[in-house]
Structure 1
């Protein structure tokens, strides 16, 4: 019999990631984030790492006292277990000492007090919510952050790998945060019946057009394969565990030729006449190491000349934003010539 006063939570076997840290071309001793087109696993289990490499491709490598495998897959069949905390969403602020704030936009959970970040006084007022979200995002991008970032954590079982625990994916994606709510009703209904939900976790490559420019960005998507009717009618439960499994890996997804996207080189100086122009990511990488506003202003001018201000850049392994917005926030975070920040 389980303990009735303890929530069930699966053992975490490892993590699923869609980014990695790579050496900076400007300074090999420093690291910068780079996005991936395929899933990257990290785990402390050598058995799990070997199974991941065999099933999804890739090579097992040592990583921070763990093992990592950059696979050749952008889609993985998973199962959503009937447990609490399968999906969690919070606004959080982290420091070297750990998580210092965690809130739902109204109540700060650690202190029990009100949210300390910009938030809507009326949670039903969409204009207030939008304005607060923009200001919170601006403050969160400062160095050090002055506000919390939204984070969505998804814990899933992978039935084709050894072990009965879960793999967790963390993402700061706005789209993942708002879209995961669509599956909440299905997950709750399945949890009430004690059934496992067959699903697919995939990296969806999207694009949007703003100011005449097309931007491409990845979004992790959890696609539940069971219908509400199948769950509500008991059909999924009646089918047994076999009906609650996702498709087998062989016919499940396409395999890419490489799991690693070529990193953007970062030159040590701004390009001169006759040199290849910098990409948006290269400009962002230089901005991260800039120490004066004058350096940022030069990069802003360069971004305008190259017309890459609207391009998305990786500012952390799982976070992407417009280059122009990132440069503006970096400029604001640096002191003026007299030493005062604006």
Structure 2
């Protein structure tokens, strides 16, 4: 017999454990919140709940260890002095992507652009517009899903430290994702690990209307087969 108590109170049903993130020791960020305003950064920011991990990050990439939000689990942060991080991933599944629309109580819509990938409608057509520009416009208005790209990787500079997670909703990176995934699949053939570089690239230009645009965008480059084992890298 199976308990059916969650049928009468589905909002209280415990969420399944996410094995993709349960062994993660820290997070990589391209931005941060200052008061209530999101701010983009030119160098990578790390957060963790482990002071020893934070200290090692500062040693590897510069910056100081500080507490940034004592109400969060990952309350140790390092504002590094680097815009490039060499990473190593174990397999192509380390890079994941989906289109997601969040609500106050959680995910409202999760799809791959054509079909739902979560919930009761999994496998059914998602109904998203076919045009990229319309998808982006809907996401900006808050009426449609936006990209959610997640990368789980080790730091090439100290693989034994553990896994770090990077998430981004970058539309620019989304445009390049098919090429990145193909390069990772090729480099990771026959079970090989893959080495790549995560960077914040500076973009600056003037639009036809004379507006100056200046920002940093995430990029995944230098994708090659990693020839070292985890034991050899220790």
* TM-score, reference length from structure 1: 0.54
Q: Is the 8 A contact 2:135 2:144 kept in 1?
A: yes
SS at match of 1:115: coil
Change (3 A) 1:149 1:96: same
Q: In 2, Cα distance between the equivalents of 1:175 and 1:138?
A: 14
Number of the residue aligned with 2:87: 78
Number of the residue aligned with 1:96: 104
1:22 matched to 2:21? The reply is no
1:202 matched to 2:202? The reply is no
Following superposition, the deviation at residue 18 of structure 1 comes to: 0.9
Q: Is the 8 A contact 1:199 1:225 kept in 2?
A: yes
Following superposition, the deviation at residue 19 of structure 1 comes to: 0.7
Q: Is the 8 A contact 1:199 1:223 kept in 2?
A: yes
Number of the residue aligned with 1:109: 117
1:86-165 aligned at under 5 Å gives the runs 86-110=94-118, 111-112=121-122, 113-117=124-128, 119-120=129-130, 129=131, 133-142=132-141, 145-161=142-158, 163=160, 165=162
Question: Structure 1: which 5+ runs fail to align?
Answer: 1-7, 24-30, 121-128, 246-342
Following superposition, the deviation at residue 148 of structure 1 comes to: 0.6
Match of 2:189 among 170, 192, 195: 192
Number of the residue aligned with 2:216: 218
Following superposition, the deviation at residue 9 of structure 1 comes to: 5.2
Change (3 A) 1:91 1:153: same
Q: In 1, Cα distance between the equivalents of 2:114 and 2:42?
A: 35
Question: Which has the larger share of helix?
Answer: 1
Q: In 2, Cα distance between the equivalents of 1:172 and 1:225?
A: 21
Q: Is the 8 A contact 1:197 1:224 kept in 2?
A: no
Question: Structure 2: which 5+ runs fail to align?
Answer: 1-18
Following superposition, the deviation at residue 71 of structure 1 comes to: 0.7
Change (3 A) 1:184 1:138: closer
SS at match of 1:185: helix
RMSD (CA atoms): 2.5
Larger Rg: 1
Q: Is the 8 A contact 1:94 1:100 kept in 2?
A: yes
SS at match of 2:176: helix
Q: In 2, Cα distance between the equivalents of 1:225 and 1:190?
A: 7
Aligned residues: 205
Following superposition, the deviation at residue 22 of structure 1 comes to: 0.7
Q: Is the 8 A contact 2:188 2:194 kept in 1?
A: no
Q: Is the 8 A contact 1:205 1:219 kept in 2?
A: yes
After TM superposition, the runs of 4+ consecutive aligned structure 1 residues lying more than 6 A away are none
